[in-house]
């Protein structure tokens, strides 16, 4: 039989591991949001017709062309990930009557960790 402290650590590791795994598909909406925040929002223009105005200095046509697709895929993938997190961290523990419902809900904060690790590694690389 497994000792109680070891069983407690193993029981806590399951929600942490599951939410870290949920963070892998969460990379897609987080990357879309990061791209929109750093590329699309700093631009002066929001439409192709803005390119003809003289006061527009920061307008990238490629970013403008890709913004709609990135917004769509970011929204759809964020909805899918949010549903997966809700089903895993809220609905399933409640349905099972798990005594560790708070642990499951709190470990949902670990979902962005894989994106943060990849972002940090990209910053280190250059």
- Alpha-carbon torsion 43, 48, 50, 54, what sign? positive
**In a domain? residue 120:** yes
Q: 118 pLDDT exceeds 80?
A: yes
Six-digit token pair at 98?
A: 């798990």
* Helices assigned H by DSSP within the chain: 4-22, 27-35, 61-86, 92-96, 101-107, 113-125
**In a domain? residue 6:** no
pLDDT tens by residue, 60-96: 788 888 999 999 999 999 999 999 999 999 888 888 8
Q: 58 pLDDT exceeds 90?
A: no
Overall number of domains in the chain: 1
Domain residues for the domain of 45 are 28-125
- The values of phi and psi at residue 80, to 5°, are -65, -45
């Amino acid at each position: 039989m497994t000792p109680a402290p070891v069983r407690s650590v193993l029981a806590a590791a399951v929600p942490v591991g599951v939410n870290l795994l949920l963070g892998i598909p969460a990379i897609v909406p987080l990357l879309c949001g990061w791209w929109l925040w750093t590329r699309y929002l700093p631009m002066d223009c929001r439409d192709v017709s803005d390119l003809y105005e003289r006061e527009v200095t920061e307008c990238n046509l490629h970013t403008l062309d890709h913004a709609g697709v990135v917004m769509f895929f970011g929204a759809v993938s964020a909805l899918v990930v949010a549903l997966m997190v809700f089903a895993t961290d809220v609905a399933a523990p409640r349905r099972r009557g798990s005594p560790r419902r708070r642990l499951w809900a709190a470990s949902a904060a670990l979902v962005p960790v894989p994106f943060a690790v990849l972002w940090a590694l990209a910053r280190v690389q250059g």
